[in-house]
Amino acid sequence: MALNILDALKGEFGDEIVGMLGKFVGEDPSKTKSALGAALPAILGGLVSKGSSAQGASEILEMVTKGGFGADTLKGLGSAFGGGDVTKNMLATGAELLKKIFGEKVAGIVDLVAGAAGIGKNSASSLLGLVVPAVLGFLGREVKSGGLNVGGLMGLLSGQMESLKAAAPAGLGSILGLSELVPGMGGAKVVQGIEPAVKRSSPWKWILPLAIIAAVIAYMLKTCSVPPPVTTSVEKAEKAVGEAGKAAGEIGEKVAAGAGSLLERLGKFLSVKLPSGFELSVPEFGVERKLIAFIEDAGKPVDKTTWFTFDRLEFETGSATLKASSMEQLKNVAEILKAYPKVALKIGGYTDNVGDPAANLKLSQKRAENTVAELVKLGISADRLEAEGYGDKHPVSDNSTEEGRQKNRRIDMRVTRK
């Protein structure tokens, strides 16, 4: 009987590990467990898709061996998810691994996990980055213990197709193009936990017979003769269904490719030493580095148009309550302000144009104020900070699209003194 990797991985993510993951990404344990129920099949599905060719399996084998993933990776999950530099380094490593496994489809996978578990995209992105090394650690352990070569790894991965059918979150097959490798994959959606949900009845159960009947009637009306054998109509209908499924998969891939992934946009985590001697671990394209560059550049004077958008700040939906996942970036900004004591900031809050403008203005003001309040708690004098909400004014993207509205719901900061 083939090894069921998903079932085996469940044992590696006990309640304590789930709790640590949830604390780092800023989600409660139940949502974190639900997100894992989508993330693990998604990552394994990506590996199955990539490992379906000798070249892809060879690349996975290289990832495992060169990265040193194996039994020790799994044993060290407790310390790896405990926060600090170890967790940040694992997150950076995971971001690179996700790119290698999914390529331009990373954004679609992040959206899929976020939607399946009802969590923020930043949380889903971080969770995927932390979990993927564990999955490769499991593969590395099997590769070493079984002495697997490229062919052996292909066999191990291909043996996971049946378990993926039941556990894959809805839409995974379309994003990965796995519908041909695993017929019917993606029809079951994980609702909570790592346990697969009950498989729902497929709409093709009714569409296919109706298509056959329609084809027979059309043929009879056209020729006024005996209809062709049912098997011919079945073949045509199956071909039509196959073409429709292929087209849907292509659309899903285009949508995934068009969405910008947080992990891809921000890049690797790098160490930045501040004048205070404090070392930050921040993304190479993150807002912290942009803020520092502006502060240190004497040729860039303070003005009223240069704003910097927080890229890892999250609020509860429809609320001004900051999520725990926001604290990492707020702490970084606080350390920057401590290192440059002359600098003062204005925090601006913004919303999209959906809903009552007055309510949006009030929400944006409260979110800006709460951001300032957190910085004060972190040791920054209140007289160096001010907050203002602008509601749906000053959009940076098109409010007619969900992606555009998401970009408009933001918190910015502007240097008012340096």
Strand partners, 322: 315
Per-residue pLDDT of the chain in tens (418 residues, 90 and over written 9)? 568 899 888 888 888 888 888 888 889 889 999 999 999 999 999 999 898 888 888 899 999 998 899 888 888 787 778 778 888 888 889 999 999 999 989 999 999 999 888 999 999 999 999 999 999 999 999 999 888 898 888 889 988 888 888 888 888 888 887 654 444 444 433 333 443 333 344 443 444 445 555 554 554 544 444 444 444 444 554 455 455 445 444 444 443 444 345 556 788 888 899 999 999 988 888 999 999 999 999 999 999 999 999 999 999 888 999 998 899 999 999 999 999 999 999 999 999 999 999 999 999 999 999 999 999 999 999 999 999 999 999 999 999 998 889 899 999 999 999 9
Whole-angstrom distance, CA of residue 382 vs CA of residue 87: 31
Threshold 0.95, pTM exceeds: no
Helix (H, G, I), strand (E, B) or coil at 381: coil
What is the H or E stretch that residue 347 is in? Answer: strand 344-350
Q: Could you please report the per-residue DSSP string of 13-73? A: S-HHHHHHHHHHHT--HHHHHHHHHHHHHHHHHHHHHHTTSHHHHHHHHHHHHHHT-SHHH
Distance of CA 250 to the CA centre of its chain: 20
Strand partners, 415: 345
